[in-house]
Structure 1
Amino acid sequence: MANKSLFASLKGRVAGKTDAINKSGGQAYKYENQHKLSQLAVTGTIGDLHYQDAQVELETVLKTAEHVTDEFLAKTAIYARQQGKMKDLPALLLAVLASRDPVLLSRAFPQVITNGKMLRNFVQIMRSGQTGRKSLGTRPKALVRGWLNGVSDYQLLQASIGNDPSLADVIKMVHPKPDNAEREAFYAWLIGKPCDASKLPTQVKEYLAFKEKPAENSLPDVPFQMLTHLPLSKQDWTEIALRGSWNMVRMNLNTFLRKGVFEDKKAVKEIANILRDPKRVKKANAFPYQLLTSYQALSHEMPRQIRKALHNAMEIAVSNVPAFDGNVVVCPDISGSMSWPVTGARGGATTATRYVDVAALVAAAVLRHNKKTTVLPFDFNVQSIPLEPRDTIMTNARRLSNQWGGGTNCSAPLRWLNQRREKPDLVILVSDNESWADQYRGSATGMMKEWQELKHRNPKAKLVCIDIAPYGTTQMQSRPDVLNVGGFSDAVFKQIAAFVDGKLDADQWVREIKRIKLN
């Protein structure tokens, strides 16, 4: 007899029968477990969201992780960190792996724990008990010790910035054995114990000397957070700005303005050059939306050169957005639920950037690189928001994101196209997928019904659904002509290009994760 479960599955796949209810109460489709974990990993931040709180998100991630192999769990953690540029979820998945496969943990650890912030995230999650244990355990302790002993003195100084846990807490937990007297003295100093000051790293000696007598010593080469409580001069702040990392400069422009740095025209020019330097922009691995956040936060008194440099940096940050053949339509969701911060509500760590900002940036970037693109922002219906392709990405993104509100109807842009008998070759939808205002009686979502109608006019049309919220359902089943992909990073553009060129099928995103090499 034929395999009933197999043929029932195929029938459901063709008919588009829904198998889930989304967070807003609408019909939806489940992601397969590996795809669901991947989507959670590149969008989740473990913060309170519009439709769920942080605890629900955490429980969803942990439950989904139970249904994938240890190897896929490890590779997803690596992908989320390296390609998705995420922080919390890669550390969480690594902590889950610690209780399942210590050998795989050892292989994935160095590819996920790339700096002190990630190390402290991992330790904090392990100690919380949320992944099943409250102690680090033998293998995780050894890995943390190895990281501490293997990084440079400056990397340890950078890791010492922050709390809960602090680097001192981590050192006390794992008791690293220093390889030499210099590192022994450094560890002692970091945890507040007496040490031989003559054996401390040069940066620490210079810091202590400057701290004691600022007027008699040069500004030390240490993370600037270690200096902000000291009586710094305008020249000191200028030096800090000019030698800082790209991200540090971007994040502290208003501080430099308050400290008088931009009173010097030469400093303004040099800092603007830092911000627009293509090599530094690429190396910084900043999300495009973080640039938008920085721009939105600028003081009204910020020099014009600095503002212009951030516009330049944005153009560089999304320079890998491809040009597509044929007619392109981009559909950013501007409904009310998209007004939630992308990090979730996290007390003092909440970002001002919202999901709608991310959706607007994607639309503006595609428009910038594809001048004939049609942009259809939607909530209940498609909204008319005039955009100019020649304007900067941030200018168009602001126009889109400022119009948010209303309910979510993911089928609205497809219905708009069908009503006008349009024949797009590529449709890109950016949403949290929480559609509820387009419910039909029947087995499929409203979006699936509208897409089937559009396909009758253009059988070669392709649809890409970029999911940017960790809710775990979609409005479109993955099919040869439909790609579901998640995330905020520019890696999404590479996935779209490969899909359009026929180099990536609907399930390839998961297979790309599977191809990741474990050290």
Structure 2
Amino acid sequence: MASKTLFQSVRGALLPQTNAANEAGGAAYRRSPQQALAQYASTGCLNQTFYATAEDQLSQVLGLCHQVEPELIARVALYARTKGAMKDLPALLCAVLSVKSPGLLAEIFDRVIDNPKMLRNFVQIMRSGVIGRKSLGTLPKRLIVQWIASRTDAQLFTGSIGNDPSLADIIKMVHPKPETPSRAALLGYLIGREHDAAALPPLVRQYEKFKRNTNPGKVAVPDVPFQMLASLPLTEKDWQQIARNGSWQMTRMNLNTFSRHGVFNSPELTNLIATRLSDPHLIKQAKVFPYQLLAAYRNISDSIPPSIADGLQSAMEIAISNIPRIDGKVYVLPDVSGSMHSPVTGERAGSTTQVRCVDVAALVAAAILRHNPTAEVIPFESDVVKCHLNPRDSVMTNAQKLSSLPAGGTNCSAPLTYLNASRASGDLIVYVSDNESWLDSPHYGRFNGARATETMKQWNQFKSRSPQAKMICIDIQPYATTQVVERADIFNVGGFSDQVFQLIADVASNRAGDNYWMNQIEQMTL
């Protein structure tokens, strides 16, 4: 009989050789500069992650920008903002383009810098000096002036919340020229200069009248952001009007606040808010992350009416509505290891999210199961973790079960090893992980060019029984390595917006070709 050892090694030699160590010290494959930049932009928030500091991420991104063409930087910025709903990295890439290709910056500026928060991010980054200059420069100033001119008086006023820099600081930097008396009065008002109060836009005058009012409940609450009113003495009636005027995102974030101030004492208003939360158009417009809905649902107090909780459940179903019903056998492999219990957007003093990477992985798995009841969910850490899920349970319920599983080290090959041991076959495998596998690395801590990762080896073995099978690896953290190499049957994608569900749908329906994720980015129109 032929030597199994000999022929196993020959078969293994055909697999791609690892060329990097990941942040955990395990053998891995280095992403190309183009792929790495896309990964950072789609998952990075320039905060402390489990394995990397904010400074490390910034250095990596700036270094990658020197290795790729400016056109790709522009397309990645567009993709990360419009498809991934990211903030800091798209603003940083715009700042980089102000030096590398000002013309491309002009082409994408309004599409990436699409609200006052993004404008403040961009200016803060420009003024920090991280891109090699501390002044805005002629073209960025002109773009900001045009940005201000294209907004209505009401949009500028309601967008004036926030500091470091404030909108007033930006106005002082770029000196926009007002074209109307109301704009002249508004600019003076915002920067604390002398202005014609009578010429102020109606919303500003209403706001000032409300602030001066000494008889609570007698003056209508202006339709301004919640933050501009929170410090004022407000009645229950005022709070109900604030809730009535609120945006979708503001509503989602302040349900407990509304409850404390008597908003839900009004059955009519309770019904209005529940309807708002489940409005498909508003959900899409808000660019909500599905995990934000999970967080809102988990955090609502017992005093919240059941119809509001139902509204969040409906919103979740809408947010994940583009998950396909997949023909064939599907396995979903959520990583529940220790590193996955870190905040999904990283840690930053005063603004660390309570949502963890494991919550996102659990949500993706539960959402796929919801639309594909025959799918098998196999959680893993150092080994597979047994967990029974009922496909008829809500996404919220199953996500909670998965994210509560015990955590250990990271072994990305464990679920494939488990499937191979049982001689299982299938059509689609979906990983959701940070890709920081190390327990299955033969020389942990000292990379020596092992022939292939164990995940790659186990996938090839699985493919010998299921030659038509495909694998999607969703990476939700900003690191530059993978456990498997992109090829016709393997798709590496990054992000945690609902865009990943569309990517899954495209792969499952055979609409995805080689290097699919990067092709999607490279097709962004400049």
Q: Distance in 1 between matches of 2:282 and 2:357?
A: 26
Residue 496 (structure 1) shift: 1.9
- Amino acid paired to 2:382: F
- Amino acid paired to 2:328: G
- Amino acid paired to 1:139: L
2:270 corresponds in structure 1 to: 268
Q: 1:287 aligns with which of 289, 295, 305?
A: 289
1:511 corresponds in structure 2 to: 519
- Amino acid paired to 1:327: K
| CA 76–310 in structure 1, closer or farther in 2 if over 3 Å, else same | same
2:88 corresponds in structure 1 to: 88
| CA 245–214 in structure 1, closer or farther in 2 if over 3 Å, else same | farther
Q: 1:465 aligns with which of 473, 485, 493?
A: 473
1:338 corresponds in structure 2 to: 340
Paired residues for 1:91-240 under 5 Å: 91-213=91-213, 215=215, 216-240=218-242
1:485 corresponds in structure 2 to: 493
Q: Distance in 1 between matches of 2:415 and 2:89?
A: 32
| 1:363-400 C-alpha deviation (Å, 9 max, x unpaired) | 00000000100000100011011111111111110110
Is 1:364 aligned with 2:366?
Answer: yes
- Amino acid paired to 1:55: E
- Amino acid paired to 2:298: Q
2:59 corresponds in structure 1 to: 59
Residue 315 (structure 1) shift: 0.9
Residue 358 (structure 1) shift: 0.5
Paired residues for 1:19-38 under 5 Å: 19-38=19-38
Residue 14 (structure 1) shift: 5.0
1:298 corresponds in structure 2 to: 300
Residue 506 (structure 1) shift: 3.3
Kindly indicate whether the alpha-carbon contact (under 8 Å) linking 2:106 and 2:143 is maintained by their aligned counterparts in 1. Answer: yes
Q: Distance in 2 between matches of 1:180 and 1:13?
A: 72
Residue 42 (structure 1) shift: 0.4
Q: Distance in 2 between matches of 1:323 and 1:452?
A: 25
| CA 307–214 in structure 1, closer or farther in 2 if over 3 Å, else same | farther
Q: Distance in 2 between matches of 1:343 and 1:452?
A: 33
| 1:328-359 C-alpha deviation (Å, 9 max, x unpaired) | 00000000000111121111111100110110
Kindly indicate whether the alpha-carbon contact (under 8 Å) linking 1:254 and 1:298 is maintained by their aligned counterparts in 2. Answer: yes
1:347 corresponds in structure 2 to: 349
2:3 corresponds in structure 1 to: none
Residue 514 (structure 1) shift: 1.5
2:41 corresponds in structure 1 to: 41
Residue 13 (structure 1) shift: 10
Q: Distance in 1 between matches of 2:477 and 2:358?
A: 11
Kindly indicate whether the alpha-carbon contact (under 8 Å) linking 2:475 and 2:492 is maintained by their aligned counterparts in 1. Answer: yes
Residue 278 (structure 1) shift: 2.0
| CA 214–305 in structure 1, closer or farther in 2 if over 3 Å, else same | farther
- Amino acid paired to 2:475: D
2:6 corresponds in structure 1 to: none
SS state at 1:292 partner:
helix
- Amino acid paired to 2:515: D
Q: Distance in 1 between matches of 2:514 and 2:396?
A: 31
Q: 1:254 aligns with which of 253, 256, 261?
A: 256
Kindly indicate whether the alpha-carbon contact (under 8 Å) linking 1:115 and 1:155 is maintained by their aligned counterparts in 2. Answer: no
Is 1:318 aligned with 2:359?
Answer: no
| CA 102–14 in structure 1, closer or farther in 2 if over 3 Å, else same | farther
| 1:450-507 C-alpha deviation (Å, 9 max, x unpaired) | 0010010011110000010001110000010000000011111212222232221231
SS state at 1:15 partner:
coil
Q: Distance in 2 between matches of 1:244 and 1:84?
A: 24
Q: Distance in 2 between matches of 1:53 and 1:187?
A: 39
| 1:24-53 C-alpha deviation (Å, 9 max, x unpaired) | 000000111111111111000000011011
Structure 1: segments with no counterpart, 5+ residues: 1-10
Kindly indicate whether the alpha-carbon contact (under 8 Å) linking 1:71 and 1:104 is maintained by their aligned counterparts in 2. Answer: yes
Greater Cα shift, 340-349 or 422-431? 340-349
Q: 1:327 aligns with which of 323, 326, 329?
A: 329
Residue 214 (structure 1) shift: 5.4
SS state at 2:100 partner:
coil
Kindly indicate whether the alpha-carbon contact (under 8 Å) linking 1:172 and 1:191 is maintained by their aligned counterparts in 2. Answer: yes
Q: Distance in 1 between matches of 2:77 and 2:342?
A: 25
1:3 corresponds in structure 2 to: none
- Amino acid paired to 1:316: I
Is 1:394 aligned with 2:402?
Answer: no
- Amino acid paired to 2:466: N
| 1:105-157 C-alpha deviation (Å, 9 max, x unpaired) | 10010110110000000000111111111111111111111111111122212
| CA 223–13 in structure 1, closer or farther in 2 if over 3 Å, else same | farther
State the identity %: 52
Kindly indicate whether the alpha-carbon contact (under 8 Å) linking 1:116 and 1:158 is maintained by their aligned counterparts in 2. Answer: no
Residue 92 (structure 1) shift: 0.5
Greater Cα shift, 440-449 or 198-207? 440-449
Alignment: residue pair count: 508
| 1:386-424 C-alpha deviation (Å, 9 max, x unpaired) | 111111111110110111410000001101100110001
Kindly indicate whether the alpha-carbon contact (under 8 Å) linking 1:13 and 1:477 is maintained by their aligned counterparts in 2. Answer: no
SS state at 2:473 partner:
strand
Is 1:444 aligned with 2:452?
Answer: yes
TM-score of the pair, normalised by structure 2: 0.95
2:484 corresponds in structure 1 to: 476
Q: Distance in 2 between matches of 1:112 and 1:29?
A: 31
Kindly indicate whether the alpha-carbon contact (under 8 Å) linking 2:15 and 2:457 is maintained by their aligned counterparts in 1. Answer: no
Residue 301 (structure 1) shift: 2.2
Kindly indicate whether the alpha-carbon contact (under 8 Å) linking 1:439 and 1:446 is maintained by their aligned counterparts in 2. Answer: yes
Shift >3 Å, 4+ stretches: 11-14
Q: Distance in 2 between matches of 1:304 and 1:34?
A: 47
Q: Distance in 1 between matches of 2:13 and 2:314?
A: 45
Q: Distance in 1 between matches of 2:270 and 2:388?
A: 34
Q: Distance in 2 between matches of 1:312 and 1:109?
A: 35
- Amino acid paired to 1:52: A
Q: Distance in 2 between matches of 1:283 and 1:363?
A: 25
- Amino acid paired to 2:418: W
| 1:135-189 C-alpha deviation (Å, 9 max, x unpaired) | 1111111111111111112221232111111111111111111112211110110
